[in-house]
Amino acid sequence: MTARDPDASRRGAEDVPASWSDLERELDAWAAAGRRATFWWRDDDAVEPSVELDRLIDLAGTARVVPALAVIPAHASGALADRLRSAPGSGSPCAVLQHGYAHHNHAVGTKSELGSERPLSIRLDELRRGEMRLKKLFGACAMPVLVPPWNRIAGDLLPALPSIGFVGISVYRARRSAQAAPGLRIANTHVDIVDWRGGRKFVGAGAALGLAVGHLAARRTGMADGAEPTGLLTHHLVHDEPCWNFMRRLLDETRKHPAAHWLAPPDVFEVHA
């Protein structure tokens, strides 16, 4: 499986800019069909507490949405675990997914930590150690779901992941089936709000909404897997103010529409204690 990384263009010929009215009309179409338009939220590259992380947690809490925080095991701090435990209310404000091992590039060309450049045994050992570290830090909040750095992973790893405890994986763009390998559920993201080639700033409402509306429409019309929730991909550490403003409005607009529903990560990957 290979998906485009944040250094690659997210735009294809099929991506058409959209407006907030377009989003409302698409959700209306879901409602008219008697269907529920599901969403989920993945945020990458967490390692320690920050003002930006606090802002994300506050935003999610206000919207009553549980984001999936993709944490880099080799660099994750005890302070991050303490921050998530100290949040008000019952339980953690975020689920924790495993963002590779060290987010280190081992490839000569396109960036990849989990590519075929290294032996399978070494990659599996790193992931196993990362999984153990996240469980030690975050306990039950850590889900056995892998988020490959740069959204790239070599195909030889996929069937081996369940053998070391993984039940899910998440990359970028619409999935082809619900299983990446036997015993390995896949749920991807589809709306990256950062323009990585254009100065690491907000991609723009038109482009972001185009991705969201495009995936929703493809699901509704059978051009994509209708059961895969539309995934919002964020990187809290690099967000500018327009990124935050867009996220706030997207959460507001979807939360008030009867056809839209945000899923918690355990529901996305069918992982329940």
Domains of the chain, start order: 20-268 (3.20.20.370)
Buried b (16+ CB within 10 A) or exposed e, 181-210: beebbbbbbbbbbbbbeeeebbbebebbbb
Q: What mean pLDDT value characterizes the chain? A: 93
Locate 45 and state its tokens.
């590259």
Residue 104 has pLDDT above 70, yes or no: yes
Provide mean pLDDT across the span 86-96: 78
Give which of 271, 270, 254, 266 is closest to 39, Cα–Cα: 254
Give which of 250, 265, 234, 229 is closest to 30, Cα–Cα: 229
Provide mean pLDDT across the span 188-215: 97
Q: Which of 1-5, 7-11, 91-95 is least confident?
A: 7-11
pTM: 0.93
CA distances from 241 to 172, 190, 194 (A): 24, 21, 12
CA distances from 123 to 101, 115, 153 (A): 9, 9, 10
Q: Which of 14-18, 204-208, 219-223, 235-239 is least confident?
A: 14-18
Residue 6 has pLDDT above 80, yes or no: no
Higher-pLDDT residue of 135 and 272 is 135
Provide mean pLDDT across the span 139-147: 97
- pLDDT value of position 87: 73
Distance CA 196, CA 145 (A): 25
Residue 11 has pLDDT above 50, yes or no: no
What are the counts of helices (DSSP H) followed by strands (DSSP E) for the chain?
7, 12
Locate 147 and state its tokens.
């988020």
